[in-house]
Amino acid sequence: MYEKLLKTVTNLGSPKILLVGDFMLDVYIYGDALRISPEAPVPVLKVTKTEYSCGGAGSVATDLAALGALPVCLGVIGDDQNGKILSEKLIKAGADVSGLYTVPGRPTISKQRLIGLAQHRHRQQLFRIDEESTEPLSDGQYEKILQIYKDKLKLICIVCLQDYDKGLLDSSLCKQMIQLAKQANKKVLVDPSLAGDYSKYAGATLITPNRRETSAVVGFDIKTAEDGARAAEELAEKLKLTAVVITLDKEGAYLRTEKESEIIPTRPRSVYDVTGAGDMVLATLAIALAADCDYKTAVQLSNIAGGIEVEKFGAATVTIEEIINEIVGQKRGKSGKIRSIDSLVEELTWHRRQKETIVFTNGCFDVVHRGHTEFLKFCRSQGDIVVVGLNSDSSVRTIKGPDRPINNQYDRAAVLAALETVDYVTVFDEPDPLNLIKKLKPDVLVKGEDWAEKGVVGREFVESYGGKVVLAPLVEGKSSTATIEKMKSLEIKS
């Protein structure tokens, strides 16, 4: 699974995605909540800073841009300062705003949040002020939106409808947009509103309601996998959908297609703020499906992206690099740092695709001491990924004699794996690491400076393909042999 996720996320490309919906401006006013007002039982907020970000469909747009897509925005804004700020923020994020239609007299939807800071650190939302109009547009305005849609549809890969029930995506417009997309052989992904008649989404490719939205539509609570299956089946049949993705918070998401009907689990998270999680899920699904990804893999990626997002404050974006790091972290959590040689070769192949420098060293590491930890810090300074080739018990006996090692290979590997400076440990049986070096092909080979005269095993091979050999300074008087001899002398004295 991990290899497939990594391959998918590193090949998403930069698709153009038509994003239709309710674009909003989020305003965050931060201040120190120092005292209670004498005028009313409310905190006094001493403002320290004000931040603006894209909300609603705008949040999806910034998510898409952060993932490498080109979001083509279609919606309405007002002829006001908030509209100008929102457009500027979207452009700066990398979105195409040529489809944003200015409607005079209609305010740009904005949500102003007052955030109190306790002791200048702990954020707590105190209040929210909304400015909006949810009235339907005029017939002429709907016709203008539909014409822009037709023009943009020719240029894009996939369509997203982000519906907050703010008067834009009425039943007629939704149905026309979905029909036109189907005629153009374009997938349509819908993040539905909490209120309203879902029949307007009929014929779309995929719908992504959350647990609460789904429960409201189907008329029963989603508490179990069976509930999810029943609800997803009902939505798919009633709306003639190819796929249904019901997001289930910490449980993950329920996926229903013609081939699958199952919960796709997610990793438990420390949830800081759920704002924008649904937007992140929609964006990830869109870019994955635009890259011809299968539905299950797309949902797995959206679970990861949404999970990263909820650990941040506000509607924050998530990058491809963060998703990659999360996938690698999950894999290491399952497989650990200690790898077989074949598994390690596969892992390093992926790291090379990320343009990371592989550093290799080897040794017995029998009794780990300060000399070892300083040496491994030096290794870390030479590149991105540090691999330690660890002599097996049998090879240590060949090198050091029948009384060594003091600690067996499993204990030695566990100690090395616990060090932050080490990314991977692999055990080899030969007395020297040449065959292992030939399999791993490191970019940098590190040995202690005491090997200068003895000759570094693997030097010629590493240098033959442009790699380099580096000699690390040693900590004087620190070695496993010296440590063991000192322990023996203390034992004799006692």
Q: What's the pLDDT tens digit per position in 470-483?
A: 999 987 765 655 55
Topology adopted by domain 338-493: Rossmann fold (3.40.50)
Q: Decide: 29 and 47 in contact? Cβ < 8 Å.
A: yes
Q: Where are the domains of the chain?
A: 2-332, 338-493
* Residue ranges, the chain, pLDDT below 50: 271-273, 494
For helices 295-310 and 277-290, the axis angle rounded to 10 degrees is: 150
User: Does CATH number 3.30.43.10 belong to domain 2-332?
Assistant: no
CA–CA distance, 12 with 56 (Å, rounded to integer): 24
Considering the candidates 22, 80, 163, 279, report the single residue annotated as catalytic: 279
pLDDT for residue 285: 96
CA–CA distance, 459 with 455 (Å, rounded to integer): 8
Q: CA-CA distances (angstroms) from residue 105 to 76, 77, 83, 137?
A: 12, 10, 12, 12
Enumerate residues 6+ apart whose C-beta is below 8 A from 40. Answer: none
Q: Decide: 254 and 208 in contact? Cβ < 8 Å.
A: no
Q: Catalytic: 279? A: yes
pLDDT in tens, 211-241: 999 999 999 999 888 999 999 999 999 999 9
CA–CA distance, 70 with 287 (Å, rounded to integer): 10
Model confidence, pTM: 0.68
Query: Could you give phi then psi for residue 329, rounded to 5 degrees?
Result: -65, -40
Radius of gyration of the chain (CA): 29
pLDDT for residue 271: 47
pLDDT for residue 337: 86
Q: What angle do CA 38, 44, 46 make, to 5 degrees?
A: 140
Where does residue 138 rank: exposed (0-12), middle (13-18), buried (19+ CB within 10 A)? exposed
pLDDT for residue 121: 59
